[in-house]
Structure 1
Amino acid sequence: MAIRYFEEEGVKARLQHKRRLNTFIKEQVIDVHLDLKKVEINYIFCTDEGLLEKNIAFLNHDTLTDIITFDLSEQEDELQSEIYISVDRVADNAQQFGVSYQKELHRVLFHGILHLCGFKDKKPAEAQEMRRQEDLCLNAYFQEK
């Protein structure tokens, strides 16, 4: 069972089709990569400033970022996580990369889940595989419409 919550801290994420997105994430990402009894993921959309505070406080990074993923799981067969997303960064990145806000928002949503599935992005080869996985998710999700 997968439960996902979407919270907005002083912002409007403009996330569409939440129920469909929940189903896709569970069936096409989590169930493909993980074998778990229980999944609870809380997405929190915030501003650059809100995410920067968390980046400094919890990761000791004084930089802007689009996403921070926290795995709060206490048991091996369960996943509990909070994923913080800066809608300011998503909007700026969408403009910079020449894609729609919705496409970039979904790329970041999938990026956080992929981290929880074990994908990393620190080394060039890892980053390349992460991008490939993001693209697979994006293509599958937007084709389903």
Structure 2
Amino acid sequence: MISFNYETDFKLEDEALVSEWISNTIANENCNEGELNYIFCDDDYLHKLNVQFLEHDTLTDIISFDYSVGKELHGDIYISVERVADNAKDFKVDVSEELKRVMIHGVLHYCGYKDKTDDEAKLMRDKENYYLKALT
């Protein structure tokens, strides 16, 4: 089950379509959908989590807590809509596209993809692009 939660005034458009897209991505990656919670927040909210749980005193666009068991995906994905909007400007893309990229990025991590090395990051980006195209 995918749920969307809000700690800011932001509201995701067309939750049902986005939820179906995420579910299809999970199935396509041969994983099973468990309980996935997306929490949309602002920079201050996510910064506090970053300091408290990861000991990183920096701003970030996403923090995910993975509680998956094998191929059954469970987790909490926190997304700063402020950071996503700033990144969209920097990358010269639509805010909606950047938000969806970040959302699917978190799920792909749960599916087992990493992005620490150049090769891993390239594969992650290719997967993001593939699934973004599937949504449009």
Query: TM class by shorter-chain length?
Result: over 0.9
Are positions 1:55 and 2:50 aligned together?
yes
CA-based RMSD of the aligned residues comes to: 1.3
Query: Are the counterparts in 2 of residues 11 and 47 from structure 1 also a CA contact under 8 Å?
Result: no
* 2:76 equivalent in structure 1: 82
Output aligned runs, 1:4-23, within 5 Å: 4-12=2-10, 14-23=11-20
* 1:25 equivalent in structure 2: 22
Are positions 1:45 and 2:40 aligned together?
yes
* 1:141 equivalent in structure 2: 135
| CA shift digits 1:63-85 (9 cap, x unpaired) | 11100111123x43532200000
Give the aligned residue type for 1:80.
Answer: H
Structure 1 range deviating more: 81-90 or 61-70: 61-70
Q: Structure 1 length normalisation: TM-score?
A: 0.88
SS at match of 1:39: strand
Cα offset for 1:127? 0.8
* 1:127 equivalent in structure 2: 121
* 1:105 equivalent in structure 2: 99
Query: Are the counterparts in 1 of residues 31 and 73 from structure 2 also a CA contact under 8 Å?
Result: no
Give the aligned residue type for 1:129.
Answer: L
Give the aligned residue type for 2:13.
Answer: Q
Q: Which blocks of at least 5 consecutive residues in structure 1 are unaligned?
A: none
Q: Structure 2 length normalisation: TM-score?
A: 0.93
Are positions 1:71 and 2:66 aligned together?
yes
Query: Are the counterparts in 2 of residues 7 and 44 from structure 1 also a CA contact under 8 Å?
Result: yes
Query: Are the counterparts in 2 of residues 11 and 87 from structure 1 also a CA contact under 8 Å?
Result: no
**Number of paired residues?**
136
Change (3 A) 1:77 1:132: closer
| CA shift digits 1:91-128 (9 cap, x unpaired) | 00111111111111101111111111111111111111
SS at match of 2:114: coil
SS at match of 2:56: coil
Give the aligned residue type for 1:33.
Answer: E
Give the aligned residue type for 1:10.
Answer: T
Q: Which blocks of at least 5 consecutive residues in structure 2 are unaligned?
A: none
| CA shift digits 1:24-68 (9 cap, x unpaired) | 1112x11121333x5110000011111111111111111111001
